[in-house]
Each structure stands twice: as structure tokens, then as C-alpha cells.
Amino acid sequence: MDDSSYDQVKDFLMHGIIPENIASTKSNFIATARKYRINARGFLTRQNKCVVRASEQELIFTTFHKHSGRQACWERIKQR
């Protein structure tokens, strides 16, 4: 998830703040934001899995994804 969307969803869930510059309508933003939760450590989660910011994606991938085909996996992930 890109960094600005991450922060917007997190602010909405914590404080109920709807941002002024959203990509869609308010109702769509609210419906999307309600699919996420904030865990005890303050991280955004969806379906009990941590959501990764776009700025941290490559670092986390290279740290935890250690098998011989990891470069091909990374290329497929970047295409999404």
C-alpha cells in the first residue's frame, strides 16, 4: 500500500478523520478502510496480516524471502 493511503486509513481508523484528497468517494474510502484493523503494536492489518508500506516493501521482501527463485517472485510482485 502506498504511504499516503496507509496514513489516511490509519488516521481514519484511529481518529475518524476522513482526508480531503481521496482517490474515490467518501463512502468508498470508508468501506475500504473498514476492511483494515490496527493491531496492538499500532500497525495496519488486513485479514490478520500486516500491511506493508510501499517504501518498506523491497527491504522486507529481501529480508524474509530467501529461496532460489526470489528474483522471479519479486518481478511478479512489482508487476501487480
Per residue in 17-56, pLDDT (tens digit) is: 999 988 889 999 999 999 999 999 999 999 999 899 999 9
Q: How many domains does the chain have?
A: 1
Domain extent, residue 25, equals 3-79
Which has the closest alpha carbon to 42: 2, 5, 11?
Answer: 11
The rounded distance, in Å, linking the Cα atoms of 17 and 56 is 24
Which has the closest alpha carbon to 42: 18, 2, 1, 13?
Answer: 13
pLDDT computed for residue 65 by the predictor: 73
pTM as predicted: 0.74
